[in-house]
Structure 1
Amino acid sequence: MIVLDDLDKKALDHFRGFVVKKDLVGIIKGGANVPAFVLEYLLANTCSTEDEEKLKEGMENVKKILRDHYINPEESTLIQSKLREKGRYKIIDKISVDLDPQRDRYWANISNSNIKKANISDELVRTHEKLMLGGIWAIIEMEYDPMIMIGPTVYPFVVRDIKPIQLSSFDNSKISDKRKEFTKDEWKTLLLRSAGYEPLSEGLDERKLNLLLCRLIPLVEANFNMVELGPRSSGKSYIYKEITPYAILISGGQGSVAQLFVNNTSGRVGAVGLWDAICFDESTDKLFKDRDAIPLMKDYMESGSFSRAKGGEISGSASIILNGNINQPVETVLQTSHLFSPLSDEVNYDTAFLDRINLFLPGWEITKFSPKNFTNHFGFSTDFFSEILKSQRKTTYYDVIDKYFTLGAHLKQRDSKSVRRIVSGFIKLLHPDANYTKEDIREYLIIAMEMRRRVKEQLKRIGGMEFWDTNFSYIDKERQEEIFVGLPEDRGSHLIDSNPLAPGVCYTATSDGDNNSLVKIEVVALRGTGKVNITGTNNQEVKENIKNTFNYIRANEKSILNEQHSLAGYDLNIQVSNLMGAYINGGIGSAVYVAIISAIYKKNLKSALAVLGNISIGGAVERSLHFAEKVSLLSENGAKTVLVPFDNLQEMTTLPSSILGKTDTPFYGNSQMLLQKSVSGDS
């Protein structure tokens, strides 16, 4: 009994003939080593229906075609015999071609049929150039002619015709016209079902769905470079092997200059000129057969072209994907090395190569797939789906960000280019009708910044100061508000944000000698009449600190604030949060001071900043008690800078050397110096 959900019915209504029930592939495939796009090519014509009888009939028809024409490797002798008996026969198989320079002719090799050195015309090879680059799946018309001899050897097998297994024509306007019939969530679900996933299954949340969509970006964006490292069995190569005839999977260490770029003898352009995507599987072992390929690959990844030995530029549009396994927890890798370290030794410390990566997909977040994660609903047949993806490569939405947002100062040219292209990729996938909202673009921009920032953060670990600008942000043009985008793995166990702190946010620590607490101060300044509202604590000493700090600012308004920012024009909501520890003690006035001023002026504070000390109502900076305990607690939880009163100077010797190695402790003597050392230079 077929159970359809509303999206299945909608897909059938609008795309009948181009959608198939995705679990049929698994049912038919059985032990056959045939890609999904081959099966769905056959299924789409007869099985794009909810009628159970027609579905069974269609499946029987496909099974018959496979039974009669698809060759399993163990049947190779039988098919050769059939060819001899019948003289002519159609088979479904993978065909590739080699050049025999000694005889100045091409030979076809037919994979499962185990036919080597079949005769093939130069014209067929010219028509289907991919035959020379790993081969293609096709319906092949074969002949047997025992009269063909070279010297004493008979070469009886002849390839008469080839019909590649992909759509012969495709109209992209159908997709843009029909997109409006679906909500964004429905379209995203349909796309992911078309790729074989079940978005509504347990374990796939919105974050993981967006990561799975990232795998499709190299298929809609030309010359896009991506790395994905993750556990085994998470489907890293599945997309490029199974769902499109326009991508090629190259096993680790197999990429040669002739195969990838150009054969200097024949002048034939390699894989970069003929495929939409080249996926290097197992990039953790070895990438290239010869070292000459690395400078060519760098050149190509940067510009989409390369120079050949005999002069002249050759261009291609293939995207490059590097896939590999990461065998340790990410936290462990980050403690001892960098996230590119699992890649092949040829490139894992080559910053020029790695900087050309547009997107680093955190494959460690994608669950190992179980049967429930694969769909049994309707999705686009893979030949139709691959044409949808291919058709988008000619359009670009590179400048869409500029309608609503400005990119922050830390994004250099390569960062900006990468972020723009990722956003463009998401628009092509989810809005092929170019109908999107500002909030859609914001969502894609945040994902894009994270994916490129991951590259930059690892380059900073390898290359140091050259890649220091990693605080990625965007500015909302309408609100003139700057938002910083962090990385999930950077937070790790750190409670203190490693990005520039948002206006009004500051961290501190309290201690009574026995109980240490990590404290977050958050101040929101709204236009109002000068009220102060304190939440998050009932401790009288803490409330007294806050009131004294507020009264100090009010008494010295003319020297601290300008006329447009008078305290009388704001209501302040001050929240005190205990992030770690038993309870909060006093001594937080300096952190409150910094938070209030930054909230009023909407200024970001420095990345991973904490402030110790207290300001009296008269403006005196008071020494911080239990200094070493507080600095240690802040440092262990991510503080990179802890501002400290001058009166604590003599206690520096009590700090462990491990703390001094990873946290700066600048001193301040008055409120003005405190403010100067707190405010981010990036805001």
Structure 2
Amino acid sequence: MIVLDELDKKALENFRGFVVKKDLVGIIKGGANVPAFVLEYLLANTCSTDDEEILKEGMENVKRILRDHYVNPEESTLIQSKLREKGRYKIIDKVSVELVPSEDRYYASISNSNIRKATISDELVKSHEKLLLGGIWAIIDMEYDPMITNGTKINPFVVRDIKPIQLSSFDNSKIAEKRKDFTKDEWKTLLLRSAGYEPLSEGLDERKLTLLLCRLIPLVEANFNMVELGPRSSGKSYIYKEITPYAILISGGQGSVAQLFVNNTTGRVGAVGLWDAICFDESTDKLFKDRDAIPLMKDFMESGSFSRAKGGEISGSASIILNGNINQPVETVLRTSHLFSPLSDEVNFDTAFLDRINLFLPGWEITKFSPKNFTNHFGFSTDFFSEILKSQRKTTYYDAIDKYFTLGAHLKQRDSKSVRRIVSGFIKLLHPDGVFSKNDIRGYLVIAMEMRRRVKEQLKRIGGMEFWDTNFSYIDKETQEEIFVGLPEERGSNLIESNPLSPGVCYTATSDGDTTSLVKIEVVALRGTGKINVTGTNNQEVKENIKNTYNYLRANEKSILNEQHSLMGYDLNIQVSNLMGAYISGGIGCAVYVGIISAIYKKNLKGGLAVLGNISIGGAVERALHFAEKVTLLSENGAKTVLVPMDNLSEMTMLPQSILGKTDTPFYVNSQMLLQKAVIGE
């Protein structure tokens, strides 16, 4: 018995003939390897009803069509036999075409039917160019003609006609007109049900539903670039494989220049000019077959066009999606590397490529799907749904935020463009009638800033100061209030304690030029015989820093320490902890010095304190290398005061204004001044 909720009834009332009960696909599909949009194309006309008898009749009709015309791979020999016996036969299958230059002719391959080198006319290929780019699902009118030969071989199979499985016409005005009959939440639920999800199921909260909607943005925004990394079985590729005939899924390493961009021999434009979206599945392995595809892809992702020696500039509107698995907890990845690191080695350190990503979807937040997360309610049939999405690509709401908000100073051109396009995408999805409120825009703006800031934060980890400006904000034009938008996974703001630091605890930063790390020094001084024990690092440079600092103290303890606090009366345990970054390098001597003295005297250090600089065995304070990167990292992770060697004074101009505004950087010239500025009460 069919049980309908109010939204089902409303969907049927407004879109009868264009909605289907989504669980029917699973019931009919069984083990057939046929995309959902093929089945729903067949279901929409006969099963868009709440009448159980008509529904059963429609399902039987679809089953009959599939039984008689859909080809399972194991039935390929039977289908070929039927073709031979009947001379002409309609099949539902995936057809692709390749050019064989040595014969100057096209040949078709019919996937499940296992037919190779079928004859197909040039006219059909020209009418359906996607045949050359991975193929399309279609109702194919096949013929068998044993008189067709190629030398001594008989090539009897002929593709006489092709009817792609998609709507022949679509009127977008109906969507805009009907949208007013639904609340925003109802429309959002209908969209997600149309994609196969059940928004009301347990485990899918509002945050996850928003992330699922983000997967649809590349289908409504032309030339939109997105990355999603997450666990297996979370449906990353499902959208682009199953619900639209306008997207293509490319397996890792299969993207060639000819397939993606242009075939220099024929001059034929590749996938970027013919598909709405190209999803690279398993982008953690390999993206491209040809190395020179990368610069072309950079050009295309930036401007929607690319240039080749022959033919000049070529344009396309395809969105680019990179999907991949992330196998470690995100906290672990952030401690040691960056969130782009799971991507293919071709691009995971290429900042020019990665900066072109508009949206980084945190797929690790989307739980693995279980049967309860898939809907059994009515949603748009996938062919109708895909046309809704495709039709929205022609409009834009790029300037929608300007009525209510101004973007903060840290959003540069690419950041602003990305944020605006994400907001535009949400409006197209949820407000196809163009009617939206200030609160709607505020919500989309916050999520858009998060998705782009995630890109920028990882670029900062890779490229350093070139991408320092990640403090994204927006300003309410009415109140002039500035609101900052953070990232759920960036918990760094409280890594450095704001309360007075315990005796022996001090923070610093290390950098080798490529990677900057946040380091915590913890010194415990126990009554003993002058032993020193270092844990937490095997880096010889770091151990040398600690040894030199200790020896300096030993040589000068009469002037630095009093008789009651002689180093020979203490055993020192020094723990060096890497709080953020790939690994610890040298330059930590002054932080160790402050830690030892405060531990011995049991003196608290000032809250939010960090110390840069190294100390030689002779007591000279050495300049901090990679000064700006270190101060920026410390400031963004909670440092209120960073004590800096005087030799770094000339580098102050390299610090971003926002860092200077929230973190003090007092200078010191010797170890005595260092202690005066670090210890509470000094």
Relative to the length of structure 1, the TM-score reads 0.76
Matched, 1:432 2:432: yes
Given that 1:276 and 1:318 are in contact with CA atoms closer than 8 Å, whether structure 2 keeps it comes out as: yes
Report the counterpart of residue 237 of structure 2 in structure 1.
Answer: 237
Report the counterpart of residue 45 of structure 2 in structure 1.
Answer: 45
**Corresponding residue SS for 1:239:** helix
Matched, 1:641 2:639: yes
Letter in 2 for 1:11: A
For residues 541-576 of structure 1, the C-alpha deviation after alignment (integer angstroms, 9 at most, x for no partner) is: xxxxxxxxxxxxxxxxxxxxxxxxxxxxxxxxxxxx
Letter in 1 for 2:178: K
Report the counterpart of residue 571 of structure 2 in structure 1.
Answer: none
CA deviation after TM superposition for structure 1 residue 360, in Å: 0.3
Letter in 1 for 2:333: V
Report the counterpart of residue 618 of structure 1 in structure 2.
Answer: none
Report the counterpart of residue 390 of structure 2 in structure 1.
Answer: 390
CA deviation after TM superposition for structure 1 residue 301, in Å: 0.4
Given that 2:610 and 2:643 are in contact with CA atoms closer than 8 Å, whether structure 1 keeps it comes out as: no
Given that 2:498 and 2:608 are in contact with CA atoms closer than 8 Å, whether structure 1 keeps it comes out as: no
Give the 5 Å matches for 1:283-432: 283-432=283-432
Letter in 2 for 1:288: F
Report the counterpart of residue 509 of structure 1 in structure 2.
Answer: 499
For residues 511-567 of structure 1, the C-alpha deviation after alignment (integer angstroms, 9 at most, x for no partner) is: 8989xxxxxxxxxxxxxxxxxxxxxxxxxxxxxxxxxxxxxxxxxxxxxxxxxxxxx
Distance 1:117 1:387 in 2: 32
Distance 2:194 2:428 in 1: 16
CA deviation after TM superposition for structure 1 residue 246, in Å: 0.1
Q: How many residues align?
A: 537
| Distance 1:202-1:626 versus aligned 2 partners, 3 A rule | farther
CA deviation after TM superposition for structure 1 residue 452, in Å: 0.3
CA deviation after TM superposition for structure 1 residue 149, in Å: 1.2
CA deviation after TM superposition for structure 1 residue 640, in Å: 3.1
| CA RMSD between the two structures | 2.5
Letter in 1 for 2:133: L
Report the counterpart of residue 152 of structure 2 in structure 1.
Answer: 152
CA deviation after TM superposition for structure 1 residue 395, in Å: 0.2
**Corresponding residue SS for 1:424:** helix
**Corresponding residue SS for 1:488:** coil
CA deviation after TM superposition for structure 1 residue 258, in Å: 0.2
| Distance 1:261-1:511 versus aligned 2 partners, 3 A rule | closer
Report the counterpart of residue 8 of structure 1 in structure 2.
Answer: 8
CA deviation after TM superposition for structure 1 residue 312, in Å: 1.0
| Distance 1:410-1:185 versus aligned 2 partners, 3 A rule | same
Letter in 1 for 2:189: T
Letter in 1 for 2:376: N
CA deviation after TM superposition for structure 1 residue 508, in Å: 4.0
Distance 1:426 1:232 in 2: 26
| Distance 1:496-1:98 versus aligned 2 partners, 3 A rule | same
Given that 2:502 and 2:604 are in contact with CA atoms closer than 8 Å, whether structure 1 keeps it comes out as: no
Report the counterpart of residue 35 of structure 1 in structure 2.
Answer: 35
CA deviation after TM superposition for structure 1 residue 310, in Å: 1.3
**Corresponding residue SS for 1:627:** coil
Given that 2:225 and 2:321 are in contact with CA atoms closer than 8 Å, whether structure 1 keeps it comes out as: yes
CA deviation after TM superposition for structure 1 residue 641, in Å: 1.8
Letter in 1 for 2:306: F
For 1:628, which of 592, 595, 605 is the aligned residue?
605
**Corresponding residue SS for 1:486:** coil
Report the counterpart of residue 140 of structure 1 in structure 2.
Answer: 140
Given that 2:503 and 2:604 are in contact with CA atoms closer than 8 Å, whether structure 1 keeps it comes out as: no
Matched, 1:187 2:187: yes
**Corresponding residue SS for 1:641:** coil
Distance 1:258 1:40 in 2: 33
Given that 2:498 and 2:638 are in contact with CA atoms closer than 8 Å, whether structure 1 keeps it comes out as: no
Given that 1:641 and 1:666 are in contact with CA atoms closer than 8 Å, whether structure 2 keeps it comes out as: no
Distance 2:642 2:71 in 1: 75
| Distance 1:636-1:458 versus aligned 2 partners, 3 A rule | closer
| Distance 1:341-1:639 versus aligned 2 partners, 3 A rule | closer
Given that 1:509 and 1:633 are in contact with CA atoms closer than 8 Å, whether structure 2 keeps it comes out as: no
| Distance 1:667-1:96 versus aligned 2 partners, 3 A rule | same
Distance 2:186 2:667 in 1: 56
Given that 1:496 and 1:637 are in contact with CA atoms closer than 8 Å, whether structure 2 keeps it comes out as: no
For residues 399-448 of structure 1, the C-alpha deviation after alignment (integer angstroms, 9 at most, x for no partner) is: 01110000000000000000000000000000000000000000000000
CA deviation after TM superposition for structure 1 residue 165, in Å: 0.1
Given that 1:229 and 1:363 are in contact with CA atoms closer than 8 Å, whether structure 2 keeps it comes out as: yes
Matched, 1:80 2:80: yes
| Distance 1:278-1:639 versus aligned 2 partners, 3 A rule | closer
Distance 2:333 2:24 in 1: 41
CA deviation after TM superposition for structure 1 residue 77, in Å: 0.3
For residues 340-371 of structure 1, the C-alpha deviation after alignment (integer angstroms, 9 at most, x for no partner) is: 00000000000000000000000000010000
Letter in 2 for 1:642: K
Given that 1:285 and 1:344 are in contact with CA atoms closer than 8 Å, whether structure 2 keeps it comes out as: yes
**Corresponding residue SS for 1:372:** helix
| Distance 1:636-1:373 versus aligned 2 partners, 3 A rule | farther
Give the 5 Å matches for 1:563-602: none
Given that 1:496 and 1:638 are in contact with CA atoms closer than 8 Å, whether structure 2 keeps it comes out as: no
CA deviation after TM superposition for structure 1 residue 2, in Å: 0.8
Given that 2:119 and 2:158 are in contact with CA atoms closer than 8 Å, whether structure 1 keeps it comes out as: yes
**Corresponding residue SS for 1:137:** strand
Given that 2:501 and 2:608 are in contact with CA atoms closer than 8 Å, whether structure 1 keeps it comes out as: no
Report the counterpart of residue 532 of structure 1 in structure 2.
Answer: none
| Distance 1:513-1:104 versus aligned 2 partners, 3 A rule | closer
Structure 2, gaps ≥5 residues long? 505-600, 612-632, 645-661, 669-682
| Distance 1:56-1:626 versus aligned 2 partners, 3 A rule | farther
For residues 133-157 of structure 1, the C-alpha deviation after alignment (integer angstroms, 9 at most, x for no partner) is: 0000000000001111122111100
Matched, 1:268 2:268: yes
Report the counterpart of residue 458 of structure 2 in structure 1.
Answer: 458
For residues 322-346 of structure 1, the C-alpha deviation after alignment (integer angstroms, 9 at most, x for no partner) is: 0000000000000000000000000
Letter in 2 for 1:179: R
Comparing 157-166 and 309-318, the one that deviates more: 309-318
Distance 2:47 2:196 in 1: 16
| Distance 1:625-1:177 versus aligned 2 partners, 3 A rule | farther
**Corresponding residue SS for 2:323:** strand
Distance 2:382 2:221 in 1: 18
**Corresponding residue SS for 2:147:** coil
**Corresponding residue SS for 1:264:** coil
Give the 5 Å matches for 1:192-203: 192-203=192-203
**Corresponding residue SS for 1:142:** strand
Report the counterpart of residue 253 of structure 1 in structure 2.
Answer: 253
Distance 2:502 2:487 in 1: 34
**Corresponding residue SS for 2:38:** helix
| Distance 1:292-1:511 versus aligned 2 partners, 3 A rule | closer
**Corresponding residue SS for 2:297:** helix
